[in-house]
Structure 1
């Protein structure tokens, strides 16, 4: 089954294109090329499946600290799968597929975090949905799963792939003032998870108050015809106030772990190719590589699968409608979810022992060096990799640790972990079993810490920006 791809009319077709970019040009042909401004100043690069992108501009530490003190600008999500759902039955269709409900009641300019599950209740897609207009919704990261369901639907609903939209993130306490200065817009009335249309680089753009570091942040979406100029203007102002451009490593790993936002491929894997044969066939034409597991818990692929209850998203599940996985999730709720997400702080002395173990010849413990590098990359065989390790208590397996990263403010090493609920109490002592299957392994002491790890005054969900 081939994937139907349609490019939408640019958001501002009335505006002249910039940098010679033709209307409808796919965004990866605009931003992810060597002459793109996103490559200016980058010193480390990584392949995330479609070519090299900047991994670091200065250092991951400096980029993260800049986003806490001033601001950062990120480009990573411009590779997001964007898919529009429209038509008289658009809301009805979404209600039939997602664990959420009442999409028809969503106000224009608002958004939802949306989850789709398989019959066993495991998440096979999660992302953001914005209401563009009556019977018109734009989704991020829900396709291609959402497209699979729509292609099978008998409802009066239409799906459109959007390939010509840029997607930048401005993150940090000065993010609001930066966007306001560049665009002339007033964002004081924009609450968390709301969006509005502004003008940027001479074209209409949508600014959405959302981000993945936990702090005040905004996403900006606009047409590929103006992507480069929009990036230049925003980056110039970010750097003018002491901020920095943000590479792939900082955005994908550090931000999500510190903020307490479990992320696909970093903290869990969506079993899209292990749910239904028809979906497996459909996805194979769209996603050319698989995600392989590393770490002590890589002996069972299901270790990386999660339900909404595992990641503290049970509040999104509405049982007052039919959707895939409903019976399984009802059973989990009735019996009580066995695990939940926590933050772990890793013992510094044990981390030092792991570093030392890299230099013990044949007895070396570490297969993946414990460095600042991310736990995801794409190797020469186009196979992604994610690290997941067992969490132990008194020698018994009680959870799974994923997404380890330095926390640069606190100067600790942390990770997220899916832990047995009775142990999910701050101060509980556990160990992380470090080392790949078939290699020597070592236990690293860890303690359950606050979740989310970042609860600062600029926490996005709670901050009143009208006072800024």
Structure 2
């Protein structure tokens, strides 16, 4: 039995084979009720009234404290940390030596020399490894998600979002919410408990992310629900939760670019046989035996606005070269709005004889953790479609895609290939046929508010 990622790759024959044939289920939101009402109404509520997301269980927390905490972060982040005061947060993004994305998380500056990274494992693992393997004077504690931890989380984490979010916060705190800039932090009293709060938003709507010690969880949760009664506050379950990224334009799960570089061999040996990067399934209609063909750059994900060359960090020279030679402008992140007739025909195939289209889970259609579908124009591949699901707000199947910049004009018609023609042994892949579904390129984020006033506020 392999004892780490490096040994697992060797046993499978390649990183691509390891992930393509993974028998693990796709990542989900654990310990959160799948639906409090129904996922359609829960989606509608984040645009119409206000919603409460429970983020306490599906992310990992890494707390970094000590004199070298900021140096560690600076050595890994494409972001500048020159202006990073206490009570501010940043979207931390890390790349490998060749400039390809490892992952991102939200990084909170809690106290002097104390930071907390919150997100899915790839970037958390990368920071954790360097904290313990590098020459840094830091102390770390880590709280993994509820699929891995024993017992309760260290902290609860909620988000109140939507057009009525500020009214809910006003009712819950008994005072006017402070006028904070995006990603700045404050403290509230809710239910007699001190709550830390980040000015945040999802799908372009205003709101706050709230957290505190787990022992305060029930009191704070009950107080938020009570405050939200007059504002039609809706709790969002695990099924609808992930679909908000379809509307906000954030691509949650790029494949971490860690699998073949010899400089990262020690890191792969540090990652266990049960690590997220070892077990997560890879799938979709795009197939390549080269795992590097699945990697993306920060420019592909529109993180170019975060890149700062005011400090040295892993991957800096590679990113500078991408900008110099123009490859930083080769691709663009977009939203694909799938054609309703073609999507409906694919759904209908399950009621006809013979193998039909690959089954669509709803509202998130993905059957894997890392998903890549071919995007074509006249049979030629022009990009990959990733995060895929149904939006009740748009009455359409949507996906987030990275396409060639010269076809990224809104309104351009493309074709998404759905289903695998190189069938895998993944348990969640049934006998099926590939189908082609027309789609229209639109901006990411899809909603104008998220692209304009919301993003400007950031």
Q: Structure 2 length normalisation: TM-score? A: 0.82
Residue 101 of structure 2: aligned partner: 123
* Cα distance change, pair 153–293 in 1 and its aligned pair in 2 (3 A): closer
Corresponding position: 1:406 with 2:390: yes
Determine the C-alpha separation between the residues in 2 that align with 1:117 and 1:185: 42
Of residues 152, 155, 162 in structure 1, which corresponds to 2:136?
Answer: 155
**1:241-282 Cα shifts (integer Å, max 9, x gaps):** 212110122221x21011111112xxx222455552222222
Corresponding position: 1:372 with 2:362: yes
Which deviates further from its counterpart, 420-429 or 297-306?
Answer: 297-306
Deviation at 1:226, TM superposition (A): 0.8
Corresponding position: 1:444 with 2:432: no
Conserved in 2, the CA contact under 8 Å of 1:428 and 1:447? yes
Residue 319 of structure 2: aligned partner: 329
Q: Which runs of 5+ in 1 are unaligned?
A: 3-45, 378-383
Corresponding position: 1:214 with 2:200: no
Equivalent residue pairs, number: 408
User: For the aligned residues, what is the CA RMSD?
Assistant: 2.6
Deviation at 1:201, TM superposition (A): 3.0
Conserved in 2, the CA contact under 8 Å of 1:72 and 1:246? yes
Of residues 265, 271, 274 in structure 2, which corresponds to 1:283?
Answer: 271
Q: Structure 1 length normalisation: TM-score? A: 0.80
**1:104-143 Cα shifts (integer Å, max 9, x gaps):** x312211111111112222212111121222222221242
* Cα distance change, pair 47–433 in 1 and its aligned pair in 2 (3 A): closer
Conserved in 2, the CA contact under 8 Å of 1:67 and 1:243? no
Q: Which runs of 5+ in 2 are unaligned?
A: 5-24, 144-152, 423-431
* Cα distance change, pair 87–406 in 1 and its aligned pair in 2 (3 A): same
Corresponding position: 1:387 with 2:368: no
Q: How does 1:132-211 map to 2 (within 5 A)?
A: 132-141=110-119, 142-161=123-142, 163-211=153-201
Determine the C-alpha separation between the residues in 2 that align with 1:82 and 1:245: 23
Answer 1 or 2: higher relative contact order, Cα 8 Å, separation at least 6: 2
Determine the C-alpha separation between the residues in 2 that align with 1:218 and 1:360: 47
Corresponding position: 1:358 with 2:358: no
Q: Secondary structure at the match of 1:190?
A: coil
Q: How does 1:17-56 map to 2 (within 5 A)?
A: 48=27, 52-56=31-35
Conserved in 1, the CA contact under 8 Å of 2:366 and 2:388? no
Conserved in 2, the CA contact under 8 Å of 1:76 and 1:168? yes
Determine the C-alpha separation between the residues in 1 that align with 2:320 and 2:346: 42
**1:293-351 Cα shifts (integer Å, max 9, x gaps):** 23211445445432111100012112233222223222222222321101111111111
Corresponding position: 1:107 with 2:85: yes
Of residues 241, 244, 257 in structure 2, which corresponds to 1:251?
Answer: 241
